[in-house]
Chains A and B, each alone.
Chain A
Amino acid sequence: MEQTDLIVCRDLSLGYEGQSVLSHLNLRVRSGDYLCLVGDNGSGKSTLLRGLLGLLPPLAGSIQRAAELERGAVGYLPQQTRAQRDFPATVEEVVLSGCLNQKGLRFFYTAAQRSRALMNMGKLGVLELRAKSYRDLSGGQQQRVLLARALCAASRLLILDEPVTGLDPAAAQDLYKTLNYLNKKEGMAVVMVTHDLRPALRDAGAVLHIGHGGSFLGTPAEYLASPYGKRFKEAAE
């Protein structure tokens, strides 16, 4: 493992109860990378995310994670759940919960944790919403709040699971701009599962296509030229 590597997967197979969903995958995520995971439904994208997050042990092969990504230091943006839509919590409560580390049981957050939360709320433009209830926000605002929470948890790697689902085009555009900013200006590595290919091909440095027939890893240009990407070429143009 090299110094800039965050996650290295070698000949990785992942699955549930001995049945592999995904096999023989080689993948390297370095700091500052922007990787999009695309593929059909049920092809194992979410399974791979669970593996990268350290929630699913490999069936075969290995996943190596940089020391700084030890459990508890990944910024994760999961898909929204049904229960969250009417959840009574202020924006500040939600963002602060990203600062929980495993150590120490305190009723109050420390000053450092609070300022970290404030800084990340400012970065994502939700600072003025901080006393508002999460359930009263628009879909785009909710995603930015969850992104601020993810930034509180980690500063090197963001893992996002279909972040634009349910957002209107303007809000989706806004979210991609934010991600691009975090990636290019702050050197944050981004790994994102998406169905929305256009931004993936515009901003991302690499595309990983997972399909039932096999997987493909390359730059967006290589992807479009490959048999996997050809059918999306028109959509992207």
Chain B
Amino acid sequence: MSLLEMFSFPFIQRALVAGVLVSLCAALLGVPLVLKRYSMIGDGLSHVSFGALAMAAALGFTPLYFSIPVVVAAAFLLLRVADSPRWNSDAAIAVVSASSLALGVLVISKTSGMTTDVDNYMFGSVLAMSKADVGLSVVLCAAVLALFLLFYHRIFAVTFDEGFSRATGMRVERYNALLAILTALTIVLGMRMMGAMLISSLVIFPALTAMRLFQSFLGVTLCAAVTSVGCFCAGLAVSFSWSTPVGATVVAANLALFLLACGLAALRGRRGR
């Protein structure tokens, strides 16, 4: 079956549109998150969204309507924990992650049983995107892009130096909260296709790859966006042709590109010396 044929399937069309948009958002948000050393928050949120999804299924709620508020609340909590000098933040985030995961598994085992549901939640499914999800992805992506363009310089300033930004009168907490909310939304939307275990790589990998290749913040941001969308498309195509799980394939594509970028950076470093 050729690659062109794959687009004749409506579920692939939905996966492509939603996936490209979610990858784009994740990459843009990932640059400040990774640079601020908040990568673990993305990972923690994906575990919370797994728990939330399991609860929603058990209680009979529409998954998105239930998990969005829960994960947004968790984002605020994790951000607080990460910034608090009194907490051992990475330990606290690890505890929240494991607890939500355990809660989710417990709820599933008592209701629908450990069936394909768990597998789909954990590792994603290309069939997961409904029409409503695609609609929501479009709205979310528009919001992330608009906020990024509007606040680009402020996001840079806050990411680079919170202390200075505060001293010059910026409301740093607001930007951090905005970042957390948008990340939470991106993760909730992306996790059913990518899988709870794998979605955080969509946030982290593109930024890491771009940081190896570019020297400026603008360059890193643009490169992360392009990298992320490219890897998603490549991953989806490979997953379709070889019938591999889409989430894992996209992560593998990101990993390959990251290693390539590391190699390039090392080569350039040697030539520069």
Q: Do A and B bind each other?
A: yes
Please list the residues of chain A having a beta carbon within 8 angstroms of any beta carbon in chain B: 53-55, 71-74, 76, 78-79, 81-84, 86-90, 93-94, 96-98, 100, 102, 105-107, 109, 132-133, 136, 146, 149-150, 153, 159
Taken residue by residue from 213 to 226, chain B's Cβ proximity to chain A (1 for < 8 Å, 0 otherwise) reads as 01111111000000
CB pair B153 A100 closer than 8 Å: yes
Q: Chain A residues near B218 (CB, 8 Å)?
A: 93
CB pair A74 B161 closer than 8 Å: no
CB pair B217 A93 closer than 8 Å: yes
Name the CB-closest residue of B to A154: B168
Whole-angstrom distance between the Cβ of B125 and the nearest chain A Cβ = 35
CB pair A90 B215 closer than 8 Å: yes
Whole-angstrom distance between the Cβ of A45 and the nearest chain B Cβ = 15
Q: Chain A residues near B164 (CB, 8 Å)?
A: 76, 78, 98, 146, 149-150, 153
Whole-angstrom distance between the Cβ of A15 and the nearest chain B Cβ = 15
CB pair B167 A53 closer than 8 Å: yes
**Contacts A72-B169, A76-B164, A81-B161 supplied; 4 other A-B pairs, CB < 8 Å:** A53-B166, A88-B210, A88-B217, A133-B216
A-B pairs with beta carbons under 8 A, tally = 88
Name the CB-closest residue of B to A153: B168
3 pairs of A and B residues whose beta carbons are closest in the complex: A72-B169, A133-B215, A71-B169
CB pair B216 A72 closer than 8 Å: no
* Cβ contacts A to B, 13 pairs, < 8 Å: A78-B161, A78-B164, A78-B167, A83-B36, A88-B220, A89-B160, A90-B217, A93-B216, A102-B169, A102-B170, A107-B153, A109-B153, A159-B167
Which parts of B141-161 form the interface with A (CB within 8 Å)? 149-154, 156-157, 160-161
Q: Chain A residues near B35 (CB, 8 Å)?
A: 83, 87-88
A146 to B165 CA separation, bound complex (whole angstroms): 12
Q: Chain A residues near B168 (CB, 8 Å)?
A: 71-74, 76, 98, 100, 153
Q: Chain A residues near B214 (CB, 8 Å)?
A: 88
Q: Chain B residues near A73 (CB, 8 Å)?
A: 168
Q: Which of B154, B169, B214 has the most CB of A within 10 A?
A: B169
Whole-angstrom distance between the Cβ of B31 and the nearest chain A Cβ = 9
Whole-angstrom distance between the Cβ of B247 and the nearest chain A Cβ = 28
Given contact pairs A76-B167, A76-B168, A78-B161, A88 touches B215 in the complex (Cβ within 8 A): yes
A93 contact from B150, B154, B156, B169, Cβ within 8 A: B156
Whole-angstrom distance between the Cβ of B38 and the nearest chain A Cβ = 10
Given contact pairs A88-B217, A88-B219, A100 touches B157 in the complex (Cβ within 8 A): yes
Q: Chain A residues near B174 (CB, 8 Å)?
A: none
